[in-house]
Structure 1
Amino acid sequence: MKKYSYALLVVLLISVVTSCKKSFLDRVPSDYIGETEVFGNIDNAEGFLNNIYSAIPSWNYGTGNSYVTSAMTDESKQRWANGAVLFNTGAWNPSNFSPLGDDWTNAYAKIRACNLFLANFEKIPEDPNVPNRKARLRGEALMLRAFYHFVLFRGWGKIPIMDKPLSPATDGDAVFLKRSEYAEVVAFIERDLNVAMQNLPAKHDPGLWGRATKTICQAIKSRLDLYYASTFFNPNSDASKWQKAAAASKEALDAALAEGYSLEPKFPDAFLKYANTECIWGRNIGTGTVSGIDQVMQPLGYSGWNNCGPIQDFVDDFEMKNGIPIKSAGSGWDPKHPYKNRDPRFYATVLYPGATWKNRKINIYANDKDNAEQPGTNYWWRKYMTEGLNLSNNSGGVTKSFAIFRTAELMLNYAEAQNEVAGADANVYNAINPIRRRAGMPDIPAGLTKEEMREVIRHERRIELAFEGHRFWDVRRWKIAEVVDNRPVYGVNYTISASNATDTTFTYFEAQKRVFDKTKHYLMPIPQSEIDKLNGKNPDFKQTEGW
């Protein structure tokens, strides 16, 4: 993103941070230099808009960060005792809900800023040197407002829609809005996206990578409509919602391909290569020196912190290279060599006992430095990790991209929706098989039923999109979290024979018990502090059902 006045952005940032103790509806950047100065200059106005991007998702921050949500579903287990532990053990509530509780307040803070920008839009002068710049900025604000409403919709379902910059100081009790129905929220988001697309280019030059585009708007619609058609939001299986989702995903995929987005030839490049051809919308992780994700996730023996380790059930879900699940007849899986001949994506996603990493094998037997008696799973994230990075002296790092949307997701979105509309037709196979071929996996068997293909698609999403912030939401919209997130998760140990160093025995241990209450855990509670401030003003503003 283009850089603007450092002083201005600092003031804007301070204004947002210092307002964080206020109600979400009052989270207003009110301490900046003044609306006239900000919106009377297009550079300053764009600087104001830049700050609204700061809460888009990343691996460890933004709305719905991927490593925390990974540790709160059947992908990973977090080693540190923090909010994810409360979540997984069922001890979370509206007062202590920290892992995603900030999403509520952060998203509304950014929506408030979008509304302030849009309310002052007419004051912004045109740029005589850059045609359509002002219109583009309006499109960006609308897209961001839509995206943050989507973040709230997927987590809280029925939410207050904010389409103007209300403030308790000037609007009184009018700011205390009711929670709108699902259909109203979805329609509002789509309206914003439709108008935004009229003002945005399909794609930006590299210098504006990461800014809103028409193609990103289409990708948001694809995900929004897919969620809205899914079981949780569509319990009566309204076929028209699936038809709409299939059309939106096809439109988004076709548009992305037309703009030159594609599958990267090599699977790891989709998340290790900066601004790659697969990433439709993303943000930097790492600066070319040291990346926080490497520090947090790499094994202890490599100067990492090993905060979040994949769980055994996730590891077991990677098929053999021949395309057969490991426990199925004819797979060729050997429990003595459990990591041999697996789906190649496994080796790009998971570091496992005995894997070679930075020129030596990872060992987890007792007292080894990679184990160090750590209460993890004895697996580590490989995805996003830079092998050439030396964490002890911060050398060898690279800038890489965290994809918020990438081409593979749009292909899987379309496959899922189209399968629900028409069954496993050629369109579904043509959307999935290129993803598997890219990974070096065989095509999906022909002749699958709709139900069989549904399970294939869910498997592919779990494997292909692992650690990217999808699984937590997928199991909720499919309404299977009450099964997959309501059972213990396991890790691995192994022993080496005293008489034969090549003879190893793998054993599996319970790493964490998990609890999921289907009566309330599908949606998030509103932070209790917000209920305390707002509920008395409007009886229609209620806590999430079950909480």
Structure 2
Amino acid sequence: MKNIKHSITVLLILFTAFSCDYLDVVPDNVATIDDAFVDKASAEKFLATCYSYLPNFGDPWINSGIGSGDEVWFNEEIVGSNFNSALIARGLQNTNDPHLNFWDGRMRGKSMYIAIRDCNIFLEEIDNAPDLTGTEKARWIAEVKFLKAYYHFWLFKSYGPIPIIRENLPIYTNTEDVQVYRDPVDDVVSYIVELIDEATPDLPLRLSSEAIELGRITQPIALAMKARVLATAASPLFNGNTDYASVVDNRGISLFNQSYDPAKWQLAADAAKAAIDTAMAANHSLVTEYRTKSDISPELERECVIRSIFTDRNSTELLWGSTDFRFTQGYQRMCVPLMIQVTSSNPVSQFYASTLRMAELFYTKNGVPIDEDVDFNYVNRYELRTAVTEESDFIRSGEQTAVLHFDREARFYASIAFDRGTYFMDPTYYYVQTRQGELATKRNQGEFSATGYFVKKLINPNSALNTNTMLAYYEYPFPIIRLADVFLLYAEALNEVKSTPDAEVYEYIDMVRERAGLDGVVESWANYSSQPDKPTTKEGMREIIKQERLIELAFEGQRFWDLRRWKDAENYMNQPIRGWNINGAGLGFYNVTTIFTPSYDFKDYLWPIREEEIVKNPNLVQNPGW
């Protein structure tokens, strides 16, 4: 819109979500749109501004996918008024001033509509930058189109139907035209996909220099996100959800489709397969190796492989990651338990606690759920057992811990730290001690695990301990999407498309399981499960794929969104948050304790629009229940 060029001031960004040099550049002292595009350097700064609205994925207080659900829990002493995701998990979302408000940028949410506005300005004005090559211009336009699509998607998965902002309104627009409507779900999804499709051909297959360009959009990123968008749209929350039949605007337009459309799963499957093929063409692959500094067992090496998938800064599996390394440092300080005597009074925070529910989620060593494994002592899982020498890779020999912690798959040991468990930081073995008065219990205000568990997955095996600061940080990009995620999306979509599961459905889930040291689903269930035929039916395989996603992507910020799109959140998030008795002396620690009883209602599937916005614009329909 050329009419606005001399009439509005470019929004100045106070900070950016990236730490690498390229994306740290933002426009400053820009008086008009003309100044923002006077030359290539100025236009490139505006490009960085478009990137700067990306959510801070690595900040657990801001990334709703991490703190707003049921996989981690923070003790009451640490949760303050600015710990917005944790407050949502405690049922404190509201319409007066919603937490993590990405609609209009309040309560630690960035305004996605301001982000979209600036993307529109870039797309409208980039032709005015005189010294750009055609290739540069095409790539920058493609990047901004993708970002515009992603900002719409972030709003969509949070709020459901949203107003589509195809272009900015002129400043002389009358009041009625400013009062926009929410667009129906299918229209929103179609527009997001349209933007991604327009962007993809002009994006690079790989970055020419990750040192300079880390965080910029590539074809594998765009296609992987397209697969995620379409899988979300095909899922029960948005595909024929009759629970939202009453959501109709004042024009009489229904905002949710009321008829289930199986063709949406085919679109998701096609998108996932295209993303996989493109990622592999760009030399992405599942991580299957770890270069150890010491002589360790194959079992412990497998644990290190799994930990390095998430935390290796050069992971071949990472398609897109947040490049603000400050947050991965903060995560590590929150996650790692104190395991050595230190001189510092504040070496760790150690309050990033896995829930007992997550400890029970992972499979047994036989690759099936703990309540299905015919060889696992599920009934007595909270009783004590003494570890022997052969088990010392994962549990300290001669020590007692819960039966629950024995004979589990590698991803369990790579993801969760528990009392008397081994904690390997190459090349040194450490041990976790969480009983009352021991090292990994409370030190200062708020510095303790509420459940007695810690999240190990976020700590790279190459991190190191020392007696001063405790942890020498190993920096890495916080993953936004990785290849295994797309494999599992493909398996999920194929299972929904086919009448019964077949070899192709099994293939992509089995590749992920093989990396974890597990047999394929058919073999594992036939040999060890009390439900041996489960993988042979669509319904049974759906349940298996869901659990596989919850395990493989645990603590990565996906569980929260998956449970919502599957309409499973009410079943999971209304269950008590439990852990061990952290105040119990000695073996009294091993009494299961309820820490919090959440209340998750139907309304919580979609977040509220702030009430003031509804008052200002009566054309907006509030989400049900709010």
Tell me: CA distance 1:272–1:73, structure 2 relative to 1, closer, same or farther (3 Å).
same
Task: Tell me the equivalent position of 2:394.
Answer: none
1:448 aligns with 2:536: yes
Q: What is the Cα deviation at residue 39 of structure 1?
A: 0.8
Task: Tell me the equivalent position of 2:119.
Answer: 114
Q: Which shows bigger deviation, 36-45 or 150-159?
A: 36-45
Task: Tell me the equivalent position of 2:621.
Answer: 542
Q: What is the Cα deviation at residue 506 of structure 1?
A: 2.4
Tell me: CA distance 1:109–1:389, structure 2 relative to 1, closer, same or farther (3 Å).
farther
Q: State the SS of the aligned residue for 1:403.
A: strand
Q: What is the Cα deviation at residue 214 of structure 1?
A: 2.0
Task: Tell me the equivalent position of 1:380.
Answer: 454
Q: Which shows bigger deviation, 416-425 or 331-340?
A: 331-340
Tell me: CA distance 1:154–1:360, structure 2 relative to 1, closer, same or farther (3 Å).
same
Q: What is the Cα deviation at residue 492 of structure 1?
A: 1.5
Alpha carbons 1:274, 1:284 under 8 Å: kept: no
Separation in 1, partners of 2:337, 2:552: 23
Residue type at the aligned position of 1:344: A
Tell me: CA distance 1:261–1:367, structure 2 relative to 1, closer, same or farther (3 Å).
same
Separation in 2, partners of 1:286, 1:14: 18
Q: Which shows bigger deviation, 146-155 or 214-223?
A: 214-223
Separation in 1, partners of 2:422, 2:46: 46
Alpha carbons 1:42, 1:134 under 8 Å: kept: no
Alpha carbons 2:319, 2:482 under 8 Å: kept: yes
Which of 546, 560, 578 in structure 2 is aligned with 1:458? 546
Which of 312, 326, 338 in structure 2 is aligned with 1:273? 312
Q: What is the Cα deviation at residue 353 of structure 1?
A: 1.2
Tell me: CA distance 1:511–1:182, structure 2 relative to 1, closer, same or farther (3 Å).
same
Separation in 2, partners of 1:324, 1:181: 40
Q: What is the Cα deviation at residue 61 of structure 1?
A: 3.9
Which of 496, 501, 507 in structure 1 is aligned with 2:591? 507
Separation in 1, partners of 2:557, 2:421: 25
Residue type at the aligned position of 1:432: I
Task: Tell me the equivalent position of 1:35.
Answer: 33
Q: What is the Cα deviation at residue 100 of structure 1?
A: 5.2
Alpha carbons 2:62, 2:85 under 8 Å: kept: no
Task: Tell me the equivalent position of 1:156.
Answer: 159
Which residues of 2 match residues 194-273 of structure 1 at below 5 A? Answer: 194-207=197-210, 208-235=213-240, 236-265=259-288, 266-273=305-312
Cα displacement string for residues 440-464 of structure 1 (whole angstroms, at most 9, x for unaligned residues): 1221125521111101110111111
Tell me: CA distance 1:322–1:89, structure 2 relative to 1, closer, same or farther (3 Å).
same
Task: Tell me the equivalent position of 2:350.
Answer: 306
> Could you tell me the percent identity over the aligned residues?
31
Separation in 2, partners of 1:366, 1:341: 26
Alpha carbons 2:307, 2:459 under 8 Å: kept: no
Separation in 1, partners of 2:350, 2:331: 10
Task: Tell me the equivalent position of 1:432.
Answer: 509
Q: What is the Cα deviation at residue 497 of structure 1?
A: 9.9
Tell me: CA distance 1:510–1:504, structure 2 relative to 1, closer, same or farther (3 Å).
closer
After superposition, the CA RMSD in angstroms is 3.0
In the alignment of these two chains, the number of paired residues is: 513
Tell me: CA distance 1:100–1:306, structure 2 relative to 1, closer, same or farther (3 Å).
farther
Q: Which shows bigger deviation, 257-266 or 360-369?
A: 360-369
Q: State the SS of the aligned residue for 2:434.
A: coil
Alpha carbons 2:360, 2:404 under 8 Å: kept: no
Which of 47, 56, 78 in structure 2 is aligned with 1:49? 47
Separation in 2, partners of 1:411, 1:350: 24
Cα displacement string for residues 145-204 of structure 1 (whole angstroms, at most 9, x for unaligned residues): 00010000101011011122337x543423331110001101111111111113212222
1:186 aligns with 2:189: yes
Q: State the SS of the aligned residue for 1:400.
A: coil
Q: State the SS of the aligned residue for 1:55.
A: coil
1:97 aligns with 2:106: no
TM-score normalised by the chain length of structure 2: 0.76
Q: What is the Cα deviation at residue 494 of structure 1?
A: 7.6
Q: What is the Cα deviation at residue 433 of structure 1?
A: 0.5
Q: What is the Cα deviation at residue 437 of structure 1?
A: 0.7
Alpha carbons 1:58, 1:402 under 8 Å: kept: no
Tell me: CA distance 1:508–1:144, structure 2 relative to 1, closer, same or farther (3 Å).
same
Which of 140, 143, 148 in structure 2 is aligned with 1:145? 148
Separation in 1, partners of 2:155, 2:497: 27
Q: State the SS of the aligned residue for 1:491.
A: strand
Residue type at the aligned position of 1:177: V
Q: What is the Cα deviation at residue 51 of structure 1?
A: 2.4
Tell me: CA distance 1:142–1:188, structure 2 relative to 1, closer, same or farther (3 Å).
same
Residue type at the aligned position of 1:366: Q
Alpha carbons 1:242, 1:421 under 8 Å: kept: yes
Separation in 1, partners of 2:276, 2:339: 42
Task: Tell me the equivalent position of 1:81.
Answer: 79
Gaps of 5+ in 1: 1-9, 18-28
Q: What is the Cα deviation at residue 368 of structure 1?
A: 2.4
Task: Tell me the equivalent position of 1:24.
Answer: none
Tell me: CA distance 1:430–1:124, structure 2 relative to 1, closer, same or farther (3 Å).
same
Q: State the SS of the aligned residue for 1:511.
A: strand
Which of 321, 329, 336 in structure 2 is aligned with 1:291? 329
Which of 360, 367, 373 in structure 2 is aligned with 1:323? 367
Q: State the SS of the aligned residue for 2:619.
A: coil
Separation in 1, partners of 2:15, 2:560: 32
Alpha carbons 1:290, 1:389 under 8 Å: kept: no
1:527 aligns with 2:610: yes
Which residues of 2 match residues 346-357 of structure 1 at below 5 A? Answer: 346-357=412-423
Residue type at the aligned position of 2:455: W
Task: Tell me the equivalent position of 1:21.
Answer: none
Alpha carbons 1:320, 1:342 under 8 Å: kept: yes
Gaps of 5+ in 2: 1-9, 18-26, 241-258, 289-304, 341-346, 385-402, 524-534
Residue type at the aligned position of 1:352: F
Alpha carbons 2:366, 2:373 under 8 Å: kept: no
Tell me: CA distance 1:506–1:495, structure 2 relative to 1, closer, same or farther (3 Å).
farther
Separation in 2, partners of 1:211, 1:366: 47
Residue type at the aligned position of 1:297: C
Alpha carbons 1:311, 1:489 under 8 Å: kept: yes
Residue type at the aligned position of 1:467: F
Task: Tell me the equivalent position of 1:6.
Answer: none
Tell me: CA distance 1:431–1:495, structure 2 relative to 1, closer, same or farther (3 Å).
same
Residue type at the aligned position of 2:521: I
Separation in 2, partners of 1:14, 1:58: 14
Separation in 2, partners of 1:206, 1:218: 21
Alpha carbons 1:313, 1:489 under 8 Å: kept: yes
Which of 61, 67, 71 in structure 2 is aligned with 1:71? 67
Task: Tell me the equivalent position of 2:493.
Answer: 417
Residue type at the aligned position of 2:135: N
Alpha carbons 2:57, 2:322 under 8 Å: kept: no
Q: Which shows bigger deviation, 394-403 or 463-472?
A: 394-403
Residue type at the aligned position of 1:38: A
